[in-house]
Amino acid sequence: MSRHLEDLSGPEIGEKITETSVIIQPIGAVEQHGPHLPLAVDHVIAEEAAEAVVAEFGDAHDLWLLPTLSVSKSNEHAWSAGTLWLSATTMLAVLDDIARSVSTTRAKRLVFLNGHGGNSSLLNVACREIRLAYGLKTFLVHPFVPADHGGESPEAELGMGIHGGHQETSVFMHLRPDLVHLEKAERAVPAGLDANKHVKFGGMTSFGWLSNDFFPEGHIGDPTGATAQEGKLLFEAAVRLLGEQMAEIAVFDFGR
């Protein structure tokens, strides 16, 4: 049975989407990722992760998949021709419209599965706004939490492999090896930030930045040693972790 909501007929929505259903909205981006990766990275990873978690855990937790929102808030890459991006105002309006539409079904839970770190802060705002406006229980999950939001990054990247670095390149080599040009990869780690105690990626003090503030190539990390084998392991671990999160989301009720 397909668990893509768009594959259901109108009458089937009323039959199959119930109070136990968890609606998953994958969100990616179309943005530059340096010379070695295509613009598609974030939406491919979000979509593939969402497809995999629904295929493996959909029946157990009543998961239903929405079409991927591929264009999102990517204006930190607006300097690079070809990057497609929505303003914060437009992005919030789009998410509100999607949530309003979901709220016409019997589903009570909406999950944003986010593959682009630049969306994270805005998606947290959207979760609360949607909760208030429509009464939906809202959640934000990531296949890979970026290092600037508390996620992990290899030691060789000084904890700052946040965009087109080792892990992201490895995962994409696993998913779309034909689109990776590792021969063009270069190390691009802002090592000067490592001396800071607070003002750095993953530090207590956040800061506004554009991707070309650091290096003209636009990526931030060290993709030179990336491998598809490591990417496969990372992706499979991410799907398992997402499955664990979906199990809790499916029964979440504010501790009552």
Q: How far apart, in whole angstroms, are the C-alpha atoms of residue 64 and residue 78?
A: 33
Q: Could you tell me if residue 179 is inside a domain?
A: yes
Q: Could you tell me if residue 255 is inside a domain?
A: no
Rounded to two decimals, the pTM is 0.96
Angle of CA points 38, 190, 230, to nearest 5°: 50
Q: How far apart, in whole angstroms, are the C-alpha atoms of residue 116 and residue 189?
A: 19
pLDDT tens by residue, 132-163: 999 999 999 999 987 777 777 788 899 889 99
Nearest to 92 by CA among 64, 112, 65: 112
Q: Could you tell me if residue 168 is inside a domain?
A: yes
Instruction: Please report the pLDDT score of residue 130 as a whole number.
Output: 98
Find all residues with CB under 8 Å of 10, minimum gap 6, and list them.
Answer: none
pLDDT tens by residue, 166-215: 999 999 999 999 999 999 999 999 999 999 999 998 889 999 999 999 99
Task: Give the three-state DSSP class for 112.
Answer: strand
Number of domains in the chain: 1
What is the average pLDDT across 206-230? 95
Instruction: Please report the pLDDT score of residue 151 as a whole number.
Output: 78
**Contact criterion met (CB below 8 Å) for 45 and 142:** no
Q: What is the CATH number of the domain that holds 109?
A: 3.40.50.10310
Instruction: Please report the pLDDT score of residue 152 as a whole number.
Output: 78
Radius of gyration of the chain (CA): 18
Q: Could you tell me if residue 220 is inside a domain?
A: yes
Q: Could you tell me if residue 121 is inside a domain?
A: yes
Find the domain containing 28 and state its range. Answer: 5-249
Give percent of the chain with pLDDT exceeding 70: 100
More confident residue, 153 or 83: 83
Task: Encode 116-145: b = buried (16+ Cβ within 10 Å), e = exposed.
Answer: bbbbbebbeebbeebeeebebbbbebbbbb
Instruction: Please report the pLDDT score of residue 150 as a whole number.
Output: 74
pLDDT tens by residue, 14-39: 999 999 999 999 999 999 999 999 99
The DSSP secondary structure of 22-37, one letter per residue, reads EEEEEE--B----TTS
Q: Could you tell me if residue 256 is inside a domain?
A: no
Q: Could you tell me if residue 194 is inside a domain?
A: yes
What is the average pLDDT across 217-222? 95
